Structure 1
Amino acid sequence: MAPNRGASALLKGKDAFPTRQMAILAICRICEPIAFMSIFPYAYFMIEKFGVASSPAQISMYVGMVTSAFAFAEGISGAFWGRLSDRVGRKKVLLGGLFGTGLSMLLLGFAQNFQMALLARALGGLLNGNIGVLQTTVAELVTVEKHQPRAYSIMPFVWCLGTIIGSSLGGLLADPASHFSLFKGTVFETYPYLLPNVMCTGVVAIGLTVGLLFLEETHEEKKFDQDRGLEMGQWILNKVWRGQTDYTPLSDKDGSLDERNPMLDDHRSPNYQSTTSSPTLCSSRSSLAEPPPFSLDAVREPAPTLREAFTPQVCLNIAGYGILAFHTISLEQLLPILMSREEAPGNQQLPFKFIGGFHFSSETIGIILAVQGALQMFAQLVIFPWISNRLGSLRTFWLTIASYPFLYLVAPYLALLPPHLRIPGIVMLLLWKVTAQSLSYPSLAIMLANAAPSKKVLGTLNGAAASSASICRGFGPTVSGALDTVGSGMGVSGLAWWTCAGIAAIGWIPGCFMMEERKRPGFRGVEEDEEVGLGGPLADSDSDSGSVITLTPEETGQAVLSKQDI
């Protein structure tokens, strides 16, 4: 008997990449790096205008406090927001985080003293737990193993793009009254840093609106709840494209959010009707909040406890996040210092006691950092998926953490190169840096998602990982900056770099004990795509209910769903 083509099409559609929802998620994601990075071009001048510092050295210290306040506050609240997303759903927490980001940007724009600026940045971190929740949403959207590298490369790419846009907005729009007569005598002269923050808040508002109207819930239980925002978004689309009258979710028909058979969710497939020969499947639901009567969610196991959720593999992954975040954020601070520092004098005491830098101008440094952003976007979209598909997430991660210490050991010696080799030297360093970063973070994210004992605690685990990374990002610039100051006083400009090499080498310890969990609950691998015959499994087994859906033929050529309890 010929295989059922409708079932084949459904299973094929289920394996497609969820392009539309990933695009909507990317629009929500790009708002945050734009808002976060816009402060960096004018932070020094803002602190100087506050008059809180008595010397240029103190200005740098206060700038570090303002920029680190966000990371510390985010580290404190990240686990809470992740846990909350496991209870109330991903979408509500994501939208709340965007709202908190916009509010903090407005407060920063109206800040006229250091305390207000510090409070605004800290508030932004406290109200924003979106890093971990976004990773959770991606993990729930992408349920086919072969799509993971592609999916997990998109969010870092969006972050890189947002940092470029945010830095440009902050540099161009700060203190507009000093550059454009149009703004003289306006509120933007009284509050010189309000304009870039208003623009960034506008971008956040756009992302908040798009998310409210078009982002679908991915939580396995909350996605059945009625979503007024999504209904309003569909109504707007129906008005724009009048030919579309039925409710059609924005998730791709060939890339459903559901881990189970899409035929089971009748509110997502309104044209599907069970046959009359199966009266038990013919009952209808009164609302979207009521799961289908034959849904596999009818029998649910409770979420794992915190002790059960934080398995050894999960803990190793979270430790890896913290160590990686510490030395990579230190690298982001030390690299501009190396490029700015005066050239090395002639009397050096090699191999360890030497001091010097590239002595590049600020314009040259700006161009180099812009090139770095472009290189990282390319590495994120092209190099990472290619390598990860061939080596797997664990081997890709091993490759990067093995190379990091050598990068830090070599970097300070580049200042000793002759002038005609300095640009090639820094380009080599940047290529090494962006490739390592583009490979390491997405690999960790994939391994954490696959190591989760249940989808019900994905938000909690990603929130804990985000907290670990944020706290270490807060300490990294402070510690590396202090070590660089001490090393410069001793005539050893490589002290901070070599300390980072030692910390990166410590990252080998958890990495050596990590294992690649390729089958998280509800996850579908490539091998499950191969058989679509009648009477064979149509969808993967549901780990929560312990049931398998099978497809059996009827004389009419249609399919009837039957449930076999194991």
Structure 2
Amino acid sequence: MATKGGAMEGVGFRQMVPLLLVQFSQAVQVMMLFPLLVFMVEFYGVAGDDPKLLGTYTGVLASMFPLSMFITSFFWGWLSDRIGRKPVTLIGGLSIGIGSVLLGFTTDYYMALTIRIVTGLFNNITSMLKCMISEMSGKHLAKGMAYFSVAWTTGTLIGPSLAGILAMPCQQYGHRFPTCEHEDAFLNRFPFFLSFFFFGVFTLCSAIYAALVVPETLKNKKPLGLNKGLRRVLTFRSSAGALRGADGSSPKRTYEDVKYEHLEDPKGKEGLELTEVMSGNGNGNGMDNGHRYEEGREVSDEDEDQGLLSSSAKSAGANEESWFRNRDVQLACFLYGMVALFYVAFEELFPLFGSARVENGGLSLASKDVGIFMSIGGGFTIPYSLLLFPRLVKAKGTLWLVKFGSITCMVLAVFTPFMRLLATQVDHPDEDNQINRSGLGDMSPLLWVVMTVHAILIHVTGTNCFASIIIVVNMASPKAHFGAVNSYGQALASLMRVIGPGSVGLLWTLCGRIKGSTMLQVSLPFVFCGLTALAMFVLALVAPKHLDSRT
């Protein structure tokens, strides 16, 4: 049931399902590329046989999408505050869906790069979904964010694995796979077609389905509805005859005149009822027989209309300038950026640490084995998000969860390098006697337990921090600029996702050249992560209490 403010009494799960499908597809589109990047660059042949160039071209292709999103995120948020959330979401869904299908037919590196740039420029889906779910959830915002987190986590778990299964089928499954009979076969010429086409079509269908089923959540872009509109028209007459003209006649205003009318408090609070404004109640001046007086001067209808328009224009202009200078908005958005920086840095570092040989300070695990532990942690967050997170928000509040999560992140970052003390190097030479990695079966039971608990904690803490900070950003945002503020926060997070991987990768390389203790070499990059978590804690500590939420 819709409330007076447009929010829903409880989370409207039936209407939220299409949005969660879009969020799932967005997570898939963001994450599915990572296990394919190296193979794509090799297939394009742009790097030749130089492994250093391979890493460079792979990194550039990976970073173009978030960089493009950073450039245009604010614009799409600003636009959504004017034309609504649904059109911007549909544009993003169509662009990334079509771009994904085109990637399946791409055989050139620079064409792939162009497609990723263009799709990033037109994509602001995550910000729009945060706005729509927040506006739909009402007082059940924590539950809405829990659904949001589950959809993203599920996409990040399923997307990369399924993309890897569908990619390069002729190389993986041989000529038994259809259309792999000869070298010029379709799937030999376009080895990544199945992965990108399947998820591209799914993304397109999800975006179109959401556009057809989900109502517009931006309040002043929604029609009032026939019954509500007629009631407001009928209540224009107050008991004092407030809206009657001097001759006793009623103003010539119809339902169509007020169908899309929305009078909003400049402070960003609930919209004022038309009956409250028109009756003159509450302002001490009132109206009598169609006349209103201000400081002894009679105000005509024409003067009033022009005054309202002028006041509205001035208020809108002031709000446009003021929200960006708002301390709460900046603090909340920078806190969001710090959370994104910590997790993108940690997710970049942990595979490097896990795959490094024991004598070099790592755990000497294969990349796929590191991925297993990351999947265990991600899988645990699904029931946690649904069952525990909303209860914790209600009991402790979002700022408490961010502060506690920051401390947990600091402890985990500092503790991670010490896991190498539990690792043992067991060599399993490959055919060329070059690559030696321990298998999961070679790990000690204690290291198994430690890595499993570590993975669960880092993912659960991520759910607490990300879902809570989204709510904090919403609490800081003026309603009239909800889309712009959320997109500003998303832009900062995207910028951190561009800066983070390259920075910690470079730091890892530089620390590896330090002579002396391998523990020192490995620990310094994780100290950087710990300092980022400390910055998260400080920002959450100084955040004012009115940004906290327990709903």
Q: Determine if the TM-score, normalized by the shorter chain, exceeds 0.5.
A: yes
Q: Counterparts of 2:456 and 2:391 in 1: how far apart (Å)?
A: 17
Q: Counterparts of 2:416 and 2:407 in 1: how far apart (Å)?
A: 16
1:446 and 2:474 correspond: no
Is the Cα–Cα contact under 8 Å of residues 447 and 517 in structure 1 kept in the other structure? no
Unaligned runs of 5+ in 1: 1-6, 225-264, 346-354, 527-566
Is the Cα–Cα contact under 8 Å of residues 339 and 358 in structure 1 kept in the other structure? yes
Which amino acid in structure 1 is aligned with residue 23 of structure 2?
Answer: R
Matches within 5 A, 1:99-118: 99-118=94-113
Matches within 5 A, 1:24-173: 24-53=18-47, 54-144=49-139, 147-173=140-166
Q: Identify the range of structure 1 (500-509 vs 359-368) with the bigger mean alpha-carbon deviation.
A: 359-368
Structure 1 counterpart of 2:354, from 339, 342, 345: 339
3-state secondary structure, aligned to 2:216: coil
Unaligned runs of 5+ in 2: 239-249, 264-270, 278-307, 424-442
- Residue 187 of structure 2 aligns with which residue? 188
TM-aligned CA distance change 1:519 to 1:384, over 3 Å: closer
TM-aligned CA distance change 1:173 to 1:312, over 3 Å: same
Q: Counterparts of 1:91 and 1:10 in 2: how far apart (Å)?
A: 21
Residue 209 of structure 1 and its aligned partner are, at CA, apart by: 2.0
Q: How many residues align?
A: 460
Which amino acid in structure 2 is aligned with residue 220 of structure 1?
Answer: K
Q: Counterparts of 2:194 and 2:258 in 1: how far apart (Å)?
A: 43
TM-aligned CA distance change 1:379 to 1:56, over 3 Å: farther
Residue 97 of structure 1 and its aligned partner are, at CA, apart by: 0.6
3-state secondary structure, aligned to 1:507: helix
Q: Counterparts of 1:400 and 1:66 in 2: how far apart (Å)?
A: 32
1:382 and 2:377 correspond: no
TM-aligned CA distance change 1:206 to 1:493, over 3 Å: same
Q: Counterparts of 1:208 and 1:175 in 2: how far apart (Å)?
A: 27
TM-aligned CA distance change 1:65 to 1:383, over 3 Å: farther
Q: Identify the range of structure 1 (509-518 vs 312-321) with the bigger mean alpha-carbon deviation.
A: 509-518
Q: Counterparts of 2:134 and 2:234 in 1: how far apart (Å)?
A: 38
1:473 and 2:497 correspond: yes
Q: Counterparts of 1:449 and 1:435 in 2: how far apart (Å)?
A: 21
Structure with the higher helix share, 1 or 2: 2
Residue 180 of structure 1 and its aligned partner are, at CA, apart by: 4.9
State the Cα deviation string for residues 400-446 of structure 1 (Å, max 9, x = none): 11222221111111111154222112112112201210101111111
- Residue 221 of structure 1 aligns with which residue? 220
Residue 385 of structure 1 and its aligned partner are, at CA, apart by: 1.3
Which amino acid in structure 2 is aligned with residue 96 of structure 1?
Answer: I
Residue 277 of structure 1 and its aligned partner are, at CA, apart by: 9.0
TM-aligned CA distance change 1:277 to 1:442, over 3 Å: closer
Residue 75 of structure 1 and its aligned partner are, at CA, apart by: 1.0
Which amino acid in structure 2 is aligned with residue 285 of structure 1?
Answer: Y
Q: Counterparts of 2:157 and 2:114 in 1: how far apart (Å)?
A: 25
3-state secondary structure, aligned to 1:494: helix
- Residue 16 of structure 1 aligns with which residue? 10
TM-aligned CA distance change 1:276 to 1:98, over 3 Å: closer
Q: Identify the range of structure 1 (313-322 vs 17-26) with the bigger mean alpha-carbon deviation.
A: 17-26
Residue 286 of structure 1 and its aligned partner are, at CA, apart by: 5.0
Residue 362 of structure 1 and its aligned partner are, at CA, apart by: 4.0
Q: Counterparts of 1:401 and 1:34 in 2: how far apart (Å)?
A: 27
Larger Rg: 2
- Residue 423 of structure 1 aligns with which residue? 448
- Residue 550 of structure 1 aligns with which residue? none
Is the Cα–Cα contact under 8 Å of residues 285 and 292 in structure 1 kept in the other structure? no
Q: Counterparts of 1:305 and 1:275 in 2: how far apart (Å)?
A: 28
Aligned-CA RMSD value = 3.1
TM-aligned CA distance change 1:417 to 1:215, over 3 Å: same
- Residue 337 of structure 2 aligns with which residue? 322
Which amino acid in structure 2 is aligned with residue 25 of structure 1?
Answer: L
- Residue 414 of structure 2 aligns with which residue? 409
3-state secondary structure, aligned to 2:361: coil
Q: Counterparts of 2:193 and 2:57 in 1: how far apart (Å)?
A: 20
TM-aligned CA distance change 1:16 to 1:436, over 3 Å: closer
The percent identity for this pair of structures is 24
